């Protein structure tokens, strides 16, 4: 784009409003779990009741309200949900679309704390908020103490400190310390680890996040049944004479479309707190409905290759298919490393007409044979509409290269080929233009479109291109299509490829395309940027790919060694943290050993390792025991 003297100077875009600018209301006082949830949305503003919090939101005094909705132990949290239901039943939300824009999970570690000098057995009254008391029913029963309800957990701690005597509070550790109480028991929830999910509520939000939860208020028995059929999570509220069956439903993404068929019968109500499933959302970029309308992430699958929606892939292989032997050798090497697709160019777009142009269509058979030998799908570039049909007969994925990103005739032809398409971003193409090109492919009938950032042209010339991770992240907010990065063409130099690959992987790309060669000095194209097969192995081990089955035992052991090194480093950090927590415990006069906490650690491992739970317990036991050793705990010191 040229700039004439009359054009205004480009200005830095205004930074978006920071969460600090938003006022986030919660019920309770500083130090409560509600305050923590509010702090994740903006500047926390405390209210005495849930009703007042909601009224402030509707009146525009605050921009966000956080309401605790579900606790892992106690289930639906009735007080705040009832307050929200009342507001909806009174019709107060009809004018403003009240939207749940996010679900915020706050870990809840409740402790039992008392004034200094009060022994556990002496406690006669336990103060806390009703939902918190419900979360530690076993403790309350065991103590044989009278539960006293307060309006939040932090207040319970202050109240107990103020009153003194044989009283204790169930609250967070921070609130207990803030109030000057001594912790008698830690982590007292009936189920550990415990957490509470809060609804982040907004009035007429400018934009509803794509991953906002689907929450509806419902009433009526038939509707309840229909929602249950959709596997909605039902947060049932106590009935009222005129509305005996009511509550809130959280509809899973997988049932969202079907929820569009739900109808409230006579005497029933269905109010979506956010977009209703029947409303078709406008595309995020006008004119690009197929590429930029909010949808579930697209997963493109070809045999062992799956990319998008949490599935991550690596396409690796030589820049160009040079000979049947070369591509067979490299296919074996990349499969052994753990790559999930094989690449290789047979038509090469070269800057100089005198450079190697590729062996053409005959090389496609060499690439195909190599892919079949190792069980990997093949990815290859098409440069001209006339090549498409022929290449699509054999290639599993067609690539449109950077130089052809805006070659619309080629896009139309490739999009109609019946094969998935990997679209490279042109080096002078904006994210919007890149998505426009994707729209051409989708419009031509291709459902499996993948986008690949490969370095754009900037003033910087120390690298071949500038890998635009910012652009990739921006694209993530605009499209549901899988996003890949090609660090090889961006770097142009072998030594820079692993670093860029890690940066892209860390930024959350769905996949990588990496060039590999076993004799880069004699490669016919792009030798200087090709990784050696062993470099690829190192990288794919780091990213957690499984080495190919055809690899050697030594290769797999190499990967296991890398895992062991990682575990050793984590254990060593865990021990350092154990020594640190011991110091904190000693300083605050707390016992070193905490069996409830140990149960939490065991539960976490059992949950994470699932069917391997028995062994998970053993692993947790070993960690706990060496942890205690590091803390300086000795049997006789009990």
Residues that bind ligand PEP (CB under 6 A): 319, 345, 349, 401-403, 424, 454, 486, 489
As measured in angstroms, the least distance from the Cβ of 30 to Mn ion is 57
Minimum CB distance to Mn ion, residue 460 (Å): 19
Of the two residues 308 and 455, which places its CB atom closer to ligand PEP in the complex? 455
Distance from C-alpha of 237 to C-alpha of 248, rounded to nearest angstrom = 8
- Ranges of H-type helices in 588-634: 595-609, 613-631
Distances (CA, A) of 171 to 142, 160, 184: 18, 11, 12
Minimum CB separation of residue 308 from ligand PEP in Å reads 20
- State which residue has the least CB distance to Mn ion: 319
Shortest Å distance, C-beta 399 to ligand PEP: 6
* Residue 168 touches which member of Mn ion, ligand PEP, none, C-beta under 5-8 Å by kind: none
Tokens encoding 245: 């069956």
Report the partner that residue 494 touches, choosing among Mn ion, ligand PEP, none (CB closer than 5 to 8 A by kind). Answer: none
Rounded to a whole number of angstroms, the minimum distance from the CB of residue 382 to Mn ion is 15
Task: For residues 296 and 309, give the distance between their C-alpha atoms in angstroms, rounded to a whole number.
Answer: 8
Q: Output DSSP code: residue 494.
A: G
Using Cβ positions, the residue closest to ligand PEP within the complex turns out to be 401
Nearer to ligand PEP, 62 or 300 (CB): 300
CB of 345 to ligand PEP, least distance (A): 5
Residue placing its CB nearer to ligand PEP in the complex, 71 or 529: 529
Nearer to Mn ion, 130 or 492 (CB): 492
- What does 598 bind: Mn ion, ligand PEP, none (CB cut-off 5 to 8 Å by kind)? none
Partner touching 454 among Mn ion, ligand PEP, none, CB below 5 to 8 Å by kind = ligand PEP
User: Which C-beta is closer to Mn ion: that of 63 or that of 526?
Assistant: 526
> Nearer Cβ to ligand PEP, position 526 or 537?
526
- CB of residue 405 vs ligand PEP: minimum separation in angstroms? 8
- Residues contributing to the site for Mn ion (CB under 5 A): 319, 526
CB of 530 to Mn ion, least distance (A): 8
- Contact at 8 Å (CB) between 490 and 464? yes
The smaller minimum CB distance to ligand PEP, of residues 401 and 520, is found at: 401
Buried b (16+ CB within 10 A) or exposed e, 31-57: bbbbbbbbbbbbbbbbbeebbebbbbb
SS3 label, residue 575: helix
CA atoms within 13 A on the CB side of 144: 2
| Contact (Cβ atoms closer than 8 angstroms) between residue 68 and residue 34 | yes
Name the binder of 202 from ligand PEP, Mn ion, none, CB < 5-8 A by kind. none
* 374 within 8 A of 548, measured Cβ to Cβ: yes
Q: How far is the CB of 516 from ligand PEP (least distance, A)?
A: 12
Of 188 and 513, CB closest to Mn ion: 513
Question: Quick one: CA torsion of 237, 239, 244, 250, rounded to 10 degrees?
Answer: -10
C-alpha distances (whole Å) from 434 to each of 399, 447, 449, 472 are 14, 16, 12, 11
Query: By C-beta, is 297 or 420 nearer to ligand PEP?
Result: 420
Instruction: Tell me the DSSP string of 209-254.
Output: -TT--EEEEEESHHHHHHHHHTTPEEEEE---SS--SEEEEEE-GG
State which H helix or E strand residue 532 sits in: none
Q: State how far the alpha carbon of 471 is from the alpha carbons of 61, 77, 433, 483, 485, in Å.
A: 36, 41, 12, 11, 11
**3-state DSSP assignment of residue 173:** helix
**Min separation Cβ 468 and ligand PEP, Å:** 13
Instruction: Tell me the C-alpha distance between 176 and 160, whole Å.
Output: 10
Q: How far is the CB of 372 from Mn ion (least distance, A)?
A: 23
Residue closer to Mn ion by CB (options 379, 620) is 379
Residue 344 CB, nearest approach to ligand PEP (Å): 9
What's the sign of the alpha-carbon dihedral 249, 254, 256, 259?
Answer: negative
Q: What's the min distance (Å) between Cβ of 515 and Mn ion?
A: 6
Specify the residue, 448 or 486, whose C-beta has the smaller distance to ligand PEP. 486
Structure letter (DSSP) for residue 286: T
Distance CA 436, CA 438 (A): 5
402 binds, among Mn ion, ligand PEP, none (CB under 5 to 8 A by kind): ligand PEP
> Would you say 454 or 494 has its CB closer to ligand PEP?
454
The item of Mn ion, ligand PEP, none sharing an interface with residue 485, based on CB under 5 to 8 Å by kind, is none
627 binds, among Mn ion, ligand PEP, none (CB under 5 to 8 A by kind): none
**471 CB-near residues (< 8 Å, 6+ apart):** 425, 431, 453, 456
CA atoms within a 13 Å half-sphere pointing along the CA-CB vector of 516? 34
- Minimum distance from residue 315 beta carbon to ligand PEP (Å): 9
- In terms of CB distance, is 256 or 356 closer to ligand PEP? 356
Residue with Cβ nearer ligand PEP (401 or 627): 401
Distance (Å, rounded) from C-alpha 148 to C-alpha 167? 10
Choose the contact partner of 349 out of ligand PEP, Mn ion, none; CB within 5 to 8 A by kind.
Answer: ligand PEP
3-state secondary structure 89-132: HCCCCCCCCEEEEEEEEEEECEEEEECCCCCHHHCCEEEECHHH
Closest CA to 186 of 127, 125, 120: 120
CB of 498 to ligand PEP, least distance (A): 18
Closer residue to Mn ion in complex, CB, 93/380: 380
Q: Which does 68 bind (CB under 5 to 8 A by kind): ligand PEP, Mn ion, none?
A: none
Which of Mn ion, ligand PEP, none sits in contact with 424, Cβ below 5 to 8 A by type?
ligand PEP
Task: Pick what 336 binds: Mn ion, ligand PEP, none; C-beta below 5 to 8 Å, kind-dependent.
Answer: none
What's the per-residue H, E or C state across 389-438? HHHHHHCCEEEECHHHCCCHHHHHHHHCCCCCEEEECCCCCCHHHHHHHH
**Residue whose structure tokens are 């895992």:** 563
């Amino acid at each position: 784009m040229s700039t004439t003297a009359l054009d205004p100077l480009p200005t830095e875009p205004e930074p978006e409003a920071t969460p600090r600018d938003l006022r986030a209301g919660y019920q309770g006082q500083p130090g409560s779990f509600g305050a923590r949830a509010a702090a994740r949305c903006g500047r926390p503003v405390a209210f005495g009741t849930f009703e007042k919090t909601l009224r402030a939101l509707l009146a525009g005094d605050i921009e966000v309200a956080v309401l605790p909705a579900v606790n892992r132990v106690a289930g639906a949290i009735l007080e705040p949900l009832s307050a929200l239901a009342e507001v909806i039943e009174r019709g107060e939300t009809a004018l403003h679309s009240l939207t749940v824009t996010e679900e915020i999970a706050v870990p809840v570690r409740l402790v039992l704390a008392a004034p200094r000098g009060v022994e556990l057995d002496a406690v006669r009254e336990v103060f806390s908020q009703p939902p918190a008391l419900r979360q530690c029913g076993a403790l309350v029963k065991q103590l044989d103490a009278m539960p006293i309800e307060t309006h939040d957990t932090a207040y319970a701690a202050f109240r107990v400190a103020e009153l003194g005597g044989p009283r204790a509070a169930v609250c967070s550790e921070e609130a207990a310390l803030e109030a000057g109480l001594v912790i008698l028991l830690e982590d007292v929830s009936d189920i550990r680890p415990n957490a509470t999910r809060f609804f982040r509520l907004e009035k007429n939000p400018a934009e509803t996040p794509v991953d906002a939860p689907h929450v509806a208020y419902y009433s009526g028995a038939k509707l309840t049944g229909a929602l249950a059929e959709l596997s909605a999570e039902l947060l049932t509220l106590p009935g009222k004479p005129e509305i005996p069956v009511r509550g809130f439903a959280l509809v899973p993404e997988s049932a969202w479309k079907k929820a569009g068929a739900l109808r409230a019968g006579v005497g029933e109500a269905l109010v979506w707190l956010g977009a209703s499933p029947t409303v078709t959302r406008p595309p995020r970029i006008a004119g690009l409905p197929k590429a930029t309308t909010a949808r579930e992430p697209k997963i493109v699958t070809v045999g062992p290759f799956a990319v998008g929606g949490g599935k991550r892939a690596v396409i690796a292989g030589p820049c160009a298919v040079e000979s049947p032997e070369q591509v067979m050798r490299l296919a074996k090497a990349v499969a052994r490393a753990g790559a999930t697709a094989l690449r290789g160019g047979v038509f090469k777009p070269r800057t100089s007409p005198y450079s190697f142009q590729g062996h053409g269509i005959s090389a496609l058979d060499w690439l195909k044979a190599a892919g079949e030998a190792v069980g990997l799908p093949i990815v290859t570039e098409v440069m001209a509409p006339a090549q498409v049909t022929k290449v699509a007969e054999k290639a599993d994925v067609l690539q449109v290269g950077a130089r052809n990103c805006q070659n619309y005739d080629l896009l139309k032809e490739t999009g109609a080929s019946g094969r998935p398409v990997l679209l490279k971003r042109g080096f002078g193409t904006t994210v919007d233009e890149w998505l426009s090109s994707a729209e051409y492919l989708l419009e031509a009938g291709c459902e499996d479109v993948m986008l690949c950032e490969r370095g754009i042209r900037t003033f910087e010339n120390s690298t071949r291109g500038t890998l635009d991770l910012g652009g990739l992240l921006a694209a993530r907010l605009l499209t549901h299509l899988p996003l890949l990065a090609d660090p090889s063409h961006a770097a142009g130099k072998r030594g820079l490829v692993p670093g860029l690959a890690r940066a892209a992987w860390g930024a959350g790309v769905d996949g990588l395309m990496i060039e590999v060669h076993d004799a880069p000095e004699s490669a016919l194209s792009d030798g200087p940027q090709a990784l050696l097969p062993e470099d690829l192995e190192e990288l794919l081990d780091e990213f957690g790919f499984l080495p190919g089955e055809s690899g050697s035992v030594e290769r797999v052991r190499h990967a296991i060694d890398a895992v062991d090194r990682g575990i050793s480093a984590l254990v060593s950090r865990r021990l350092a943290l154990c020594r640190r927590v011991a110091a904190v415990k000693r300083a605050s006069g707390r016992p070193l050993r905490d069996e409830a906490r140990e149960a939490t650690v065991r539960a976490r491992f059992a949950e994470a390792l699932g069917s391997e739970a028995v062994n998970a317990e053993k692993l947790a036991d070993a960690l706990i025991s060496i942890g205690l050793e590091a803390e300086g705990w000795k049997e006789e010191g009990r």
